[in-house]
Amino acid sequence: MHKTSVVIIGGGPSGMLLSHILSEHGIDNVVLEKHTRDHVLSRIRAGVLEPGSVKLLRDVGLSTRLDKEAKFHNGTLIVWAGSERLEIDTMKYTGQPMAAYGQTAITEDLYDARAKSDGVIITEATDIMLQDIATDEPTVTYQKNGNRQEIQCEFIAGCDGFHGVSRNSIPVEKRRSYEKTYPFGWLAIMSETKPLEDIVYANHKRGFALASQRNEKLSRYYIQCDLDTDIKDWPDDKFWEELKSRFPRQMADEIETGPSIEKSIAPLRSFVNEPMRYGRLFLAGDAAHIVPPTGAKGLNLAFADVFYLSRALERFYHGNDSSYLDNYSKTALDRVWHTARFSWNLTRLLHRFPGDEPFDQKTRESELEYLSRSEKAMAAIAEQYTGLPL
């Protein structure tokens, strides 16, 4: 039997950032992660940080490597109709840059920081069960090395992602979810090649494409693909040819190709679970919501939840004030719905949908043309792309 203040389920970016911040405030916590550290760090996911996420990482002392290695961009490009282009100029309209810095690097930084401060991160903790979450004395049990363990705590943070156990520990009659699935996925490639100068979203009649990066020698590219796509049907040269066909000629000629070091297909989904709190259980990150990666929001939204939840727990333990905990779900969901709407809308604008009429593509191109011409419309997009202030 162990005791701690907060048990954090999930050792991904949400759980590890929450663990770091709570420890910085002297709040005891234990992280239970079902996989090994190496497995968690082997995942390739998000690549772009909002200024608010960069500030949060700087404020909690986690930006040494980020400030050395991240590539800061004053804007992100959108190209369409084979030759047109516009810039979501976040520097001009919000005075802040976006940062290209991979989720893998952030998670490595988090694991290193927790190891340095002797954080209690229990990996390969399986068959996790949450008990008495509606009481003031919840417990968490788990299997480790064949033994059943139990931890008594005061709060549980469900940071175990979309397929985790936390959300479903809330009685089904006490929660409601909202979901939208998209009739396509993203086929992703990582290659040790020089990336394009900018992050570029492409709307093309053959489908969406995205050019991104992890550093000066590591490129990340995506193309929209059918849901039943078999990755075996996509050798590297076929991927590069299709990717280039979706960018304006001059930009396509700048794309440096090379062997893939990773190739995967991710489905797109919008999902929101309400509420994000039940009793002493608080959900954060993908455990509570999923947004399509079109707006580079998933990881940033997870960090916003962690900011609100860590502040609420700090006020409870050090300010004897539970009002931030009581308001957590509403505060977090306000931002979640704003971000879910923005990500859905950008996905609608930039992708081709099966069953589209020519009219649909023409109206998308007209909307992009309007965006490129209207300072007011562009300011609105830039404000949403950088993320509203925390």
Interacting residues toward ligand PHB by CB under 6 A: 46-48, 199, 210, 212, 220, 293-296
In angstroms, give the least distance from the CB of 323 to ligand FAS.
25
| Binding at 128: pick from ligand FAS, ligand PHB, none (beta carbon under 5-8 Å per type) | ligand FAS
Residue whose Cβ sits closest to ligand PHB? 47
Pick the catalytic residue: 182, 222, 317, 385? 385
Contact footprint for ligand FAS (CB under 6 A): 9-15, 32-35, 40, 45-47, 103, 128, 159-161, 163-165, 266, 285-286, 293, 296-299, 302
The residue among 265 and 379 lying less far from ligand FAS, judged by its C-beta, is 265
**Contact partner, 165, from ligand FAS, ligand PHB, none, Cβ < 5-8 Å per class:** ligand FAS
Spot the catalytic one: 20, 204, 297, 351.
Answer: 297
| Residue 40 interacts with, from ligand FAS, ligand PHB, none (CB under 5-8 Å by kind) | ligand FAS
The yes-or-no answer on residue 201 being catalytic is yes
Q: Report d(CA 119, CA 302) in Å as an integer.
A: 21
Least separation in angstroms between residue 45's CB and ligand PHB is: 7
**Catalytic residue (choose from 20, 71, 73, 351):** 73
Residue 283, Ramachandran bin (φ over 0: left; ψ between -120 and 50: alpha; else beta) = beta
178 in catalytic set: no
Q: Which of 93, 293, 308, 324 is catalytic?
A: 293
For residue 348, the minimal CB distance to ligand PHB (Å) is 14
Q: How far is the CB of 4 from ligand PHB (least distance, A)?
A: 34
* CB closer to ligand PHB, 47 vs 161: 47
* Between 255 and 284, CB nearer to ligand FAS: 284
Specify the residue, 94 or 294, whose C-beta has the smaller distance to ligand PHB.
294
Dist. CA 159–CA 10, nearest whole Å: 5
Smallest gap, in angstroms, from Cβ of residue 221 to ligand PHB? 9
Q: Which amino acid is at 131?
A: Q
Q: Which one of ligand PHB, ligand FAS, none is in contact with 220 (Cβ closer than 5 to 8 A by kind)?
A: ligand PHB
Q: Pick one of ligand PHB, ligand FAS, none as the site partner of residue 294 (Cβ within 5 to 8 A by kind).
A: ligand PHB
> CA 312 → CA 20, 225, 320, 321, distances in Å?
15, 41, 10, 8
Is 345 or 361 the residue whose CB approaches ligand FAS more closely?
345
With CB under 5 to 8 Å by kind, the binding choice for 198 among ligand FAS, ligand PHB, none is: none
> What minimum distance in Å lies between the beta carbon of 9 and ligand FAS?
5
Q: Please confirm, yes or no, whether 385 is among the known catalytic residues.
A: yes
Q: Crossing angle of helices 375-386/323-350, nearest 10°?
A: 130
Quote the tokens at residue 355. 């069953």
Of the pair 33, 314, the CB lying nearest ligand FAS is at 33
Q: Which two tokens stand for residue 181?
A: 């699935």
Least distance CB 6 / ligand FAS (angstroms)? 15
Judged on CB neighbours under 10 Å (0-12, 13-18, 19+), 202 is: buried
Catalytic positions are 73, 201, 293, 297, 385
